[in-house]
Structure 1
Amino acid sequence: MKFAVIGGTGLIGSQVVKNLNAAGHEAVPHSQSTGIDVISGQGLDQAVAGADVIVNLTNSPTFDEASPAFFQTSMDNLLAAGRKAGVRHFVILSIVGVDQVPELDYYRAKALQEKILAAGPIPYSIVRATQFMEFIDAVLSWTADGDTVRLPATPIQPIAAKDVADAVAEVAAGAPLGGIRNVAGPEIFSLDELGRITLSHKSDGRTVVTDPTAGMFGAVKGDVLTDKDAHLAPTHYADWLS
């Protein structure tokens, strides 16, 4: 099969392309660097021409109130191009619990993206993943101040980007789900605990202070970002750190 992987040069997209090509498919990466623009629509018709499947891994450049407009416009443009090209399957990557955190602009935006896809003209699949292990350092930086890092005790279930890419490629190569597949890491941590584990491994002397209001994840209530019933990935956080 032929796959148009939009956002195919990024952290997940590049690995999805590699996996699909290794499996004998033809996966072509597309991004701004290859001349497409999902907002203006430039290059989209050419990018998806002849494709059986669109895998959309593009992301909003901001996580604020501007993000819903990005997903609305980009999805409208990609769905129109895909329908014109006769694409038979459209896949996106989303977030476990994304519809349970209306307080966050970005999560509302991703939930909107899911709704647009589900209401669209092309058979679809949604892969929802938990938080990437690769993003933990960024999360620590958001609330770092001198020798202190403030983090809430929000439960999270970190997953390696490689395992996310494996899941996306597997779903993309299969029949459309017409729904959602959740994928998650094999362990659940509180975010403050994960911060302490990470800093200890790096011999970073900063102290993690538990603060229920700190950072983006302070707005998350309960354990909505975890899913014990998800398809569990094999990579443990300690192994990934090592």
Structure 2
Amino acid sequence: MKIVVIGGTGLIGSKVVARLGAQGHEAVAAAPNTGVNTLTGEGLTEVMAGASVVIDVSNSPSFEETAVLDFFRTSTGNLLAAGSAAGVGHHVALSVVGTERPPGNAYFRAKVAQEQLIEKSSIPFSLVHATQFFEFVRRIADDATEGGRVRMAPVFFQPIAGDDVAQVLATVAVGTPLNGRIEIGGPERFRMDEFFRETLAGWGDPREVVTDPHAQYFGAEVLERSLVPGDGATLGPTHYRDWAAK
């Protein structure tokens, strides 16, 4: 089966391509550096030819409100049009746990716009809502740092390994379209401030983690359960402490 992975040279995409290839599928990594640009449409017709499934794990290079919305609207619109013309039978997109819950931020609103386009298209689809990846923990800490102090809200946090996300995406892609969504997260739930306090200590990082109920996460304050999956979610098997020890 030919499966096109949009964003296939990135963190998650490259893992998905490798897993699908190991299963015997023709997994094609599509990204600007392979000649496929979903914003301009360059290379889309060619890469879609003969594809049965498209997996979109691409991301906006900018999280600025207008830029991120324009990216997901334009990219997804072009991708769906090319997929429809090529007869693609399953469109899989990676999204984020909490996009539909208040309070939202600009990135979440852009992902909602993307999902709405997919849901309204004629192509059968599956949406995979994931919690934050282990691989971005350092970035989250850096973004939350002010004057050498890391400000974190005491909300629930349930990150997941990128490998576990890729496994779910690969499984969903070769299955029957959900025409709906699933949620995935890591096997452990933490309080965000406590998680980062322990994690920075493990790194030998001298920054103080300050508990701040008003601390923002990617531009917005979050509620206690905004960032964690609900009941019935698929949980990855990899624990953060084991992943970090590798």
- TM category, shorter: over 0.9
Partner of 2:227: 225
Q: Write the mapping of 1:123-134 to structure 2, written as runs, cut at 5 A.
A: 123-134=124-135
The normalised TM-score by structure 2 is 0.95
Give secondary structure in 1 for the equivalent of 2:100: helix
Partner of 1:201: 202
| One-letter identity of the residue aligned with 1:235 | T
| One-letter identity of the residue aligned with 2:232 | D
The normalised TM-score by structure 1 is 0.96
Partner of 1:91: 92
CA deviation profile, 1:177-218 (whole Å, cap 9, x unmatched): 111011110111111111112111111122101112223265
| One-letter identity of the residue aligned with 2:146 | D
Runs of 5+ unmatched residues, structure 1: none
Give secondary structure in 2 for the equivalent of 1:153: coil
Q: Write the mapping of 1:73-88 to structure 2, written as runs, cut at 5 A.
A: 73-88=74-89
Partner of 1:5: 5
Are 1:236 and 2:239 an aligned pair?
Answer: yes
Give secondary structure in 1 for the equivalent of 2:65: coil
Give secondary structure in 1 for the equivalent of 2:73: helix
Partner of 1:192: 193
Runs of 5+ unmatched residues, structure 2: none
1:143, distance to aligned residue in structure 2 (A): 2.1
1:146, distance to aligned residue in structure 2 (A): 4.2
Partner of 2:43: 43
Q: Write the mapping of 1:16-95 to structure 2, written as runs, cut at 5 A.
A: 16-66=16-66, 67-95=68-96
- Count of aligned residue pairs for this structure pair: 242
CA deviation profile, 1:79-101 (whole Å, cap 9, x unmatched): 11001111110000001111113
| One-letter identity of the residue aligned with 1:239 | D
Distance 2:120 2:196 in 1: 39
Give secondary structure in 2 for the equivalent of 1:126: strand
1:148, distance to aligned residue in structure 2 (A): 1.6
| Runs of 4+ with deviation above 4 angstroms | none
Contact 1:6 1:57 in 2 (8 A): yes
Distance 2:154 2:62 in 1: 25
Query: What is the aligned-residue RMSD (CA, Å)?
Result: 1.2
Distance 1:159 1:168 in 2: 13
Distance 1:138 1:212 in 2: 20
Partner of 1:167: 168
* Identical-pair percentage: 48
| One-letter identity of the residue aligned with 2:76 | M
1:37, distance to aligned residue in structure 2 (A): 1.2
**Distance verdict in 2 for CA 1:162–1:179, change over 3 Å:** same
Contact 1:152 1:212 in 2 (8 A): yes
1:64, distance to aligned residue in structure 2 (A): 2.2
1:102, distance to aligned residue in structure 2 (A): 4.6
Distance 1:233 1:112 in 2: 27
